[in-house]
Every structure is written in structure tokens, then in C-alpha cells.
Amino acid sequence: MKFHQPQTLHSIAEIIGVRYIGNSDFPVFGTNEIHRVTPGDIVFVNHPKYYDKALDSAATVILIDKEVECPEGKALLISDDPFRDFNLINLHFTKLNNFRDELHNVEIGEGSFIHPTAVLGNDVKIGKNCHIFPNVVIGDRTVIGDHVIIQANTVIGGDAFYYRKLNGNFDRLVSVGNVVIENQVEIGNGCTIDRGVTDATIIREGSVLDNQIQIGHDTIIGKKCLIASQTGIAGCCIIEDEVTIWGQVGMASGVRVESGTVLLAKCGVNRDLKKGTYFGTIAEEFRDYLRKEVKLKNL
């Protein structure tokens, strides 16, 4: 998430009531998660296991729960609860409407048809010649390109599934990102595409999604991908261009699948995959799987 105008280290520290290390006028441009940070962003970290990853990332402001040596060219915000304060910063700069407020600032391109039963949030942009079917829900800040088809009962821009356990309960990391759907994308019935926590969940140009597909927060689906029904893709994944994913594939958080890959039905993807054809509960090269089956049969 980028702020509407640049902030300073001092102004952010005042918002959340913490002390800081660095120049008071150190520039701050936004917030982001570790996998999408750029210079000027705040990233939070609340476990020693991830200190080095956060400190060495592209982020230049680290919201952290312990005073550590500050890397050159960066600044620290010292908090007793970075998770909580990351939420506070995001909520300070982004209002969550959740369909409570009157519709405003919606742009709809020429030739687009939106069924009267569809529900649109605030600050939504829809391009030209789109077709939005009945009972579609499109959340705040969603951006949809030209010639996009979204079929009935699909939900675009729901909250990210991102929690921590605190005092025996689940505490949500607030989602202030959005969904971006590029030109000529087709999305089937009953799909759910979560918005990013602080950045965008992206479906790139020409991709086609079947019915009943779940795509998690901050995931990027490349160009001209084909995804069959009941596939579940967790958050922060990168599916490169022209990947084919058949039915009931399950994908763990944060994996990357190389362009041109084919995932056969019911694959379980728990790691990055190079280009190839994969099958199995723990995805393996299909030819290797077949060789193994032959050997087992011949035992």
C-alpha cells in the first residue's frame, strides 16, 4: 500500500506511539509484506527467526519488536507488538468500508454490462465491454480491465486469510490491498479471489478460470493461464505465464511455478516448480511418477 502522500519516520511513530531509530524526516512511502516490499516501504517483523530477512529486504523502514543494529540507509520503529501496529498504520491511511457506506467513485467503461444483482464496493474501476453476471461481489479498490467476464456468485476482493493466535484467539492482519484483473480474463461461477494484504492480488491478461476456484491474497497469476475447478491456491504464490492447472490442485503459500508448467489433477504443490508436467499428492515429474508405479507393480 502506498500512502497518498509521503510521510516521515517521526509522523509514523506518532501515529502508533513508538520510538524510532533514524532521522526524524526519513521518508516513508507506504507499507508492504516482505515478499513485495520496495524502498520506502515499512515491513513488520515480530520473531527473531525473521529479523535478518526483514533487515536485509528492500524495505527501508523495519517495524520490529526489539532494538537491533540499524542497517545503513534504513530506519527502525521499535514496537512491543509490530503486528498490531502494522494494522494501525494501514487503517490510519486506508478506510475499510466493507459495503457499509454508500457507493461512490465507481468507474465503468463503455459497453460494459453489470447485472442489477451484482454488488460493487467503493473505488472500483471496470473497463470496457465487460460482462458481470448475477450475484457477483466486487470489493473496494478492485481494478478490472477490458473485455473481462465474471460469472455468477463469484467474489472478488474478500479479506485475506492471514491470522496470528493471540491469547487463545485468532487475530486478523487487516487487508488494505486490492485485486487487479487485466484485460480479456474470464472467471467462472463461484470463484473467490482475496485481495492483497497491502498490495494487489493479480490475474494477468488472457487467463481463464473455471468454477469454484480459490486464489489467496497477494498471489499473481500470469498471462494466459488455464485453471480448472476446485483448485486452491494459497497466498503469495507466483504462477508464471501459460501454466495449466487441472482440477483440485492444492498449492501451498509462497511457491513459484515456472512458465509453461502443467499440473495434473489433484497435485499437491509444496515447493517451487521448474517447467514440466507434474502429478501426485506431493507433486513430482509425471514421468518419474509413472516409472515408480511400474516398479511398484512389478515387485
Catalytic site positions:
217
Using CA atoms, how far apart are residues 107 and 134, in angstroms rounded to an integer?
19
Burial class from Cβ neighbours inside 10 Å (0-12, 13-18, 19+) for residue 294 reads exposed
CA distances from 225 to 36, 122, 150, 243, 263 (A): 22, 29, 16, 5, 11
| Rg, C-alpha atoms of the chain | 21
Are the CB atoms for 28 and 74 separated by under 8 Å?
Answer: no
Are the CB atoms for 263 and 269 separated by under 8 Å?
Answer: yes
Backbone angles phi and psi of 118, in degrees to 5: -70, 150
Using CA atoms, how far apart are residues 202 and 238, in angstroms rounded to an integer?
10
Burial class from Cβ neighbours inside 10 Å (0-12, 13-18, 19+) for residue 201 reads buried
